[in-house]
Structure 1
Amino acid sequence: MADQREVSIVRRPGPALSAADGVGALLAAYHLRTEAEKGEPVADVHGLPDRYRAEISDPRTAFVDDVVLVAVSGGTGVGCLVVTAPADGRTEIKRLWTEPAFRGRGVASALLGAALADAAESGAGTVRLSVWKWRTGAIALYERFGFTVTESWDERDQLACMERAL
């Protein structure tokens, strides 16, 4: 088992991702959990929508213009977060995931802090994200980092849109 005491955040531009980063497995866990929480559980990744299967099978291509942050412990990926390429002065954070065994250890906070630093370095003036309303722990984390709920840009029911200025 990986050492749960030390976690480092590794920045990977999309084209630099490799299978060794474990991002595909982290994204699979994220998407499977999300579908289950939405009340639409699937047995495995083959039951996920095409766009999610594409992220899992080839994150390098799916996030070619983006930056993927990977939390690593003992050489194993234990969390991830995607920072999209800036557009119109904004960037978006998505796919924040921490393996359950590593929750409560500051991994998500470290990923989010690194994402905000990366967004600022990219020249973005605003960071936005969307989160399912039932993910109250994630919403509380985002609020601690200065995000506030804003008008939705996504019509999916139960989705909260949040943003913050840099």
Structure 2
Amino acid sequence: MGRWPGPGARTQEGPAALLLAYHLRTEAEKGAEVTEVDGLPERYRREVLDPEKAFERDTVLVASTGGRLVGCLVVTTPVEGRAEIKRLWTDPSLRGRGIATRLIEAGLAACADAGAEAVRLSVWKWRAGAMALYERLGFGVVESWDERDQLVCMERAVGGVAS
């Protein structure tokens, strides 16, 4: 686990390929036939094409194995005591090995280091496995702050108790 970019990351390779896979999968799950970066909505396309700029105020965590990036997670800078975890993605061929759990745990530590009191996230309701993982890690469902249909909002205290 390491921060990207930075000396703490095991590789300086960027997370663009992981972000692209994340966004393409999400668009496919929503029923859109997007197969390349140019077909993504503009805000997602910017993340893929220039993740360093897109997340310049945030913390990007990466997981690697054998010198290859296999997972990523973005933690936003806290606002009014709350940070947000987003863009959690692990290589599908390596799922079930604890990579996502370790990324979230590192994200929670980054939230604590940044002085956040709570951390929130949103997840599509059809991603039952991700929701179960978040619940195991202390997140609870809260009132939605996002108007998109089928998006579930979750939160927990940085110290571990759901808000």
TM-score after normalising by structure 1: 0.90
For 1:94 and 1:10, locate their aligned partners in 2 and report how far apart those are by CA, in whole Å: 16
Letter in structure 1 aligned against 2:83 = T
Q: Secondary structure at 1:79's aligned position in 2?
A: strand
Q: Does the aligned pair in 2 maintain the 1:131–1:139 contact within 8 Å?
A: yes
Q: Does the aligned pair in 2 maintain the 1:149–1:162 contact within 8 Å?
A: yes
Asked if 1:65 is matched to 2:48, the reply is: no
What is aligned with 2:126?
A: 134
Q: Which aligned runs of 4 or more in structure 1 are off by greater than 3 angstroms?
A: none
Q: 1:45 aligns with which of 22, 37, 44?
A: 37
Count of aligned positions:
156
Letter in structure 2 aligned against 1:38 = K
1:53-106 residue CA offsets vs partner (Å, 9 max, x unmatched): 100000000000000000011111100000000110000000000011110110
Q: Does the aligned pair in 2 maintain the 1:21–1:70 contact within 8 Å?
A: no
Asked if 1:161 is matched to 2:135, the reply is: no
Letter in structure 1 aligned against 2:57 = D
TM-score after normalising by structure 2: 0.91
**CA drift at 1:13:** 5.7
Q: Which has the higher contact order (CA 8 A, sep 6+)?
A: 1
Q: Secondary structure at 1:21's aligned position in 2?
A: coil
Instruction: Decide which moves more: 39-48 or 131-140.
Output: 39-48
Q: Secondary structure at 2:115's aligned position in 1?
A: coil
What are the ranges of 5 or more consecutive residues in structure 2 without an aligned counterpart? 159-163
Give the share of equivalent positions with the same residue, in percent.
Answer: 65
Q: Secondary structure at 2:147's aligned position in 1?
A: coil
What are the ranges of 5 or more consecutive residues in structure 1 without an aligned counterpart? 1-8
